[in-house]
Structure 1
Amino acid sequence: MSTEDVVRKSPIVNLAEEAKLASEGVKAPGHAILSICKSLVAGGVAGGVSRTAVAPLERLKILLQVQNPHNIKYSGTIQGLKYIWSTEGFRGLFKGNGTNCARIVPNSAVKFFSYEQASCAILALYRQQPGNEEASLTPLLRLGAGACAGIIAMSATYPMDLARGRLTVQTDMSPSRYRGMFHALKSVLREEGPRALYKGWLPSVIGVVPYVGLNFAVYESLKDWLIKSKPFGLFEDSELGVTTRLACGAAAGTVGQTVAYPLDVIRRRMQMGGWHNASSVVTGDGKAAIEYTGMVDAFRKTVRHEGFGALYKGLVPNSVKVVPSIALAFVSYEMVKDVLGVEVRISD
């Protein structure tokens, strides 16, 4: 699908056209609103399925990110998964996944709607410049729109992400346990104050820009290159197959998460700050792990005490889950889309 088609088929663009037609006395159907709702349902289901499938790797990634360097329990992907299985059983592999899935639907909804709005607004402003009247969305414009959508969606659902992180980290040996997402949110609010709900928010905001931006830029650039260059004569038309799009999406996700990963590590560590009940973030003598006064302080102390490599703890399981997660998201979304009759893809 070309950028022109994306803009033309955007539900937000359709809404704008319907409003214009309504102002001119022409009756237009409420088709666009229904299309948005169906797309959000499909996207939410796809996100939940894909996240659940890679939940063990997601939990291990977070445990690797925040474990105390003086009390190593998880030394790698295979060893870490075996350790979780032996100490917490099958359910331990999926700890925190319910909270993770609970935030997928609103996060996808806000991100989708925000991206469509931002894309249309940025493109409209760009076309106001002389010589750009017929311009279409470029990778750079998509980067900006994706960054805006990512920041808005992340900010709207950040407390749930913090609760999910803490539920994921706690184990059966934790002195005090959260019983669920809402209990975690209430406990944090009561014990640590409202500001604690947004611990690690700044590195998250900074990390969203390269992550979401590069996802769009790399994905679109790869698709354009494959369509235009037709390497080895593999492609004869202007549309790429599902397998090729999956490969492009996997490459884009890998590049984006690798660049933004250190900020994700810092975010997780800041989220755990002030919480002394996770066995993975306390020392052997029961004392709390290192406290951080801010993002820069977290970077400095992490590198000083554990080395630069600590900024990429958990990268392997995170990278391993990128490809199956994206693949399952696409397959699940297509299945739900066929059932509901969705016409516009969230990925577009």
Structure 2
Amino acid sequence: MGTLNTGDEAQIPDDFSAEQLRSGQALNMLFSGGLAGALSRTCTAPLDRLKVLRQVYGYQHAGSSAIKAFRWMLQEGGIRSLWRGNGVNVIKIAPETAIKYTFYDFYKRLLFGGPSELQIHQKFLAGSLAGATSQTMIYPMEVAKTRMCLRKTGQYPGGLVGCLASVYREGGTRALFRGYTINLAGILPYAGIELAAYETTRTWLFRDLPSHEAPSVAALLLSGALASSIGIVACYPLALLRTKMQSKVQFSRPELNTVRGLAATVYQAEGIVGFYRGMGANLVKVLPSVAISFATFERINHYFDIAHPFGRTS
């Protein structure tokens, strides 16, 4: 079952089973991971929308600089347009984060007998499978998030439900999973790199941390930003192709409806550089996003005495 330690004298009964403790811990993880994800996404939503616009449209709609792009968004829909699509992102991030972290712990136990003292390739495999599991479960929300980021003012008046219904009417269930294959190809290495690199860096940085102290925000920023940056640079071309495929149910040119055809078109138009369009905005978003997300996650875990997949620091 497991309960949050609020500082009162009530303790978890000694006769609770390991299964009950893990079950309660999953709920605790949903709380800490969901809050961390929601805060980080909300604070960096304008940069996330800028990244999506760059990936899909390049510079044709939003200008050649970030300042011009933000000015274009403000003129098109006002200050609220900077957070367009963020509601969907916040709704999806809580279960996505909880599923990813919970299954990261699950796969380490299932495949390797426990969460501690694993080699980096074992962490990579567990992280890849955890990322694939979470993405499969919430993928229609990814499609809706992309559509909501790209919509114009007044489009999808029903919000998230209206957006999902519109996508379904256009292409059925397949439309809700458009770009899933390329997304899975990207999330397998990205989640593996991110989780393995974060846990490895975190373990090294916190090796001398006293058990009663919470990790510093600076240390969390360093380990989280390093892990995410490596994953993003390595996997960004796949993320760009996924976003392009999510943006439409069908392209007018048939060759753009396949990953190979879309990749060939991007390469012919812009070369290798085209596969990294929008990565600058994404990397700029990574630092504050990772700082807020990992710092919030770790501090909540420390405050409430919650164990999590990366080991205890409290």
**TM-score, normalised via structure 1 length:** 0.76
- The answer to whether residue 216 in structure 2 is matched with residue 216 in structure 1 is no
Distance 1:273 1:72 in 2: 17
Q: 2:289 aligns with which of 325, 329, 333?
A: 325
Deviations along 1:95-137, whole A, 9 cap, x unmatched? Answer: 000001110111122212221111111213xx9xxxxxxx831
Q: Normalized against structure 2, the TM-score is what?
A: 0.84
Q: Is the partner of 2:245 in helix, strand or coil?
A: helix
- Aligned partner of 1:132 in structure 2 is none
Match of 2:150 in 1: 169
Q: Is the 8 A contact 1:68 1:289 kept in 2?
A: no
Asked whether 1:264 is paired with 2:245, we answer: no
Partner of 1:80: 69
Letter in 2 for 1:115: Y
Mapping for residues 185-224 of structure 1, pairs under 5 Å: 185-223=164-202
Matched, 1:145 2:126: yes
Instruction: Tell me the amino acid that sits aligned with residue 306 of structure 2.
Output: E
Match of 1:317, SS state, is helix
SS of the residue 1:307 aligns to: helix
Bigger Rg, structure 1 or 2: 1
How far apart are 1:34 and its partner, in Å?
2.1
The aligned counterpart of 1:343 is: 306
Q: What SS does the corresponding residue of 1:199 show, helix, strand or coil?
A: coil
Residue identity opposite 2:86 in structure 1: N
Match of 1:55 among 38, 45, 48: 45
Gapped regions of structure 2 (runs ≥ 5):
3-13
> How many angstroms does 1:331 deviate by?
3.4
Q: Which residue of 1 aligns with 2:219?
A: 244
- Cα distance change on mapping 1:247 and 1:289 into 2, 3 Å: farther
CA RMSD in angstroms comes to: 2.8
When residues 290 and 321 of structure 1 are mapped into structure 2, their CA distance, relative to the original with a 3 A threshold, is farther
**Quick check: 1:93 aligned with 2:57?**
no
Shift of 1:68: 5.8
Q: Which amino acid aligns with 1:162?
A: V
Q: Which amino acid aligns with 2:57?
A: Q
Q: Deviations over 1:298-321 (max 9, x none)?
A: 111111123221211111111011
Alpha-carbon offset, residue 181 of structure 1: 1.3
Contact 1:64/1:74 (8 A) holds in 2: no
Shift of 1:347: 4.8
Q: Could you tell me which amino acid in structure 1 is paired with residue 85 of structure 2?
A: G
Identity over aligned residues, as a percent? 30
Cα distance, 1:50 vs structure 2: 0.6
Matched residue, 1:22:
none
1:184 CA displacement: 1.2
Give, in whole Å, the separation in 2 of the partners of 1:187 and 1:236.
51
CA distance, structure 2, for counterparts of residue 237 and residue 205 of structure 1: 39
Within a 5 Å distance, the mapping from 1:12-51 to structure 2 comes to 27-29=15-17, 30-51=20-41
Q: 1:325 to 1:145 in 2, by over 3 A?
A: same
Distance in structure 1 (CA, Å) of the matches to 2:310 and 2:152: 36
- Which residue among 117, 120, 123 is the counterpart of 1:136? 117
SS in 1 for 2:83: coil
The alpha carbon displacement at 1:188 in A equals 1.2
Separation in structure 1 between the aligned mates of residue 306 and residue 27 of structure 2, nearest angstrom: 11
Query: Deviation per CA, 1:222-248, whole angstroms, max 9, x where unpaired?
Result: 3466578xxxxxx78899942223201
Residue 145 of structure 1 deviates from its aligned partner by 0.2
1:140 and 1:334 map into 2 onto residues whose CA distance is: 24
Distance 2:179 2:49 in 1: 18
Task: Output the CA distance in 2 between the equivalents of 1:136 and 1:346.
Answer: 12
1:111 corresponds to which letter in structure 2? K
Code of the aligned partner of 1:58: D
- Relative distance call for 1:295 and 1:185 in structure 2 (3 A) is same
Q: Is the 1:63–1:74 Cα contact (8 Å) retained in structure 2?
A: no
Q: 1:118 to 1:314 in 2, by over 3 A?
A: same
Please state whether the residue corresponding to 1:93 is helix, strand or coil: helix
